[in-house]
């Protein structure tokens, strides 16, 4: 089943939620991977950039999680899932994508709050990708500059990458029934020392920057 959606407005978000409810009586999980990537520039409207980033990265998951909450519940202990796709830039910030980084940081924080709200029926976690795959139009200079930021110096689909490897969402959905309210980086830029039996929102750090 495929449902077309427009998350650029709250009305579009609610319309999508209504369509889901019309066709589904329950949901196994929600993966929030809709994203935008606008940069600040002398010619850009800063209010537009900020509002657009908050709309797609904060309004959409916030409103959908609330609107579809009852469809995720009722399946048993830890049988529902929400996964937020954030970004490794939440940890380091960005001088060229300030609104983007701030909106992803808000999404990262919502992971912890929704984990508290929905546990133990629904697990809420986040995946924070860094460099995964280049766009077709990215030139060689940009690709090399981006690779130099990575510890592994490799991207999916590259000459040295025979298999696209990463943390697949099903590892959180199926293989981690006790993982909730956690942040999982991907793409080789950071490493984790997760404490998977920790209660959501506990104050012990679970991530450490590599290098």
Q: Is 88 annotated in the active site? A: no
Query: Of 14, 62, 88, 100, which residue is the catalytic one?
Result: 100
What is the distance between the alpha carbons of residues 85 and 79, in angstroms, rounded to a whole number?
A: 20
Q: What is the distance between the alpha carbons of residues 111 and 183, in angstroms, rounded to a whole number?
A: 8
Which residues, 6 or more positions from 195, have their beta carbon under 8 angstroms from its beta carbon?
A: 204, 206
* Residue located via tokens 């986040």: 126
Closest to 146 measured CA to CA, from 88, 64, 78, 72: 88
Q: What is the DSSP letter of 55?
A: I
Active site amino acids: 100
């Amino acid at each position: 089943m495929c449902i077309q959606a427009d998350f650029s407005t709250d009305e579009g978000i609610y319309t999508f939620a209504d369509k889901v409810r019309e066709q589904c009586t329950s949901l196994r999980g929600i993966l929030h991977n809709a994203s935008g990537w606008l940069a600040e520039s002398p010619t850009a409207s800063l209010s537009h950039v900020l509002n657009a980033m908050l709309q797609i990265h904060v309004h959409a998951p916030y409103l959908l999680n609330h609107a579809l909450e009852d469809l995720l519940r009722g399946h048993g202990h830890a049988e529902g899932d929400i996964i937020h796709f954030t970004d490794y830039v939440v940890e380091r910030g960005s001088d060229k994508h300030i609104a983007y980084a701030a909106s992803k940081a808000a999404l990262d924080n919502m992971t912890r709050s929704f984990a508290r709200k929905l546990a133990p029926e629904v697990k809420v976690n986040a995946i924070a990708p860094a460099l995964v795959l280049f766009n077709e139009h990215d030139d060689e200079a940009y690709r090399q500059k981006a690779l130099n930021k990575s510890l592994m110096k490799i991207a999916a689909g590259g000459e040295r990458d025979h298999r696209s490897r990463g943390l697949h969402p099903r590892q959180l959905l199926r293989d981690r029934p006790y993982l909730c309210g956690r942040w999982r980086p991907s793409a080789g830029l950071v490493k984790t020392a997760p404490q998977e039996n920790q209660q959501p929102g506990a104050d012990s750090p679970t991530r450490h920057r590599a290098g």
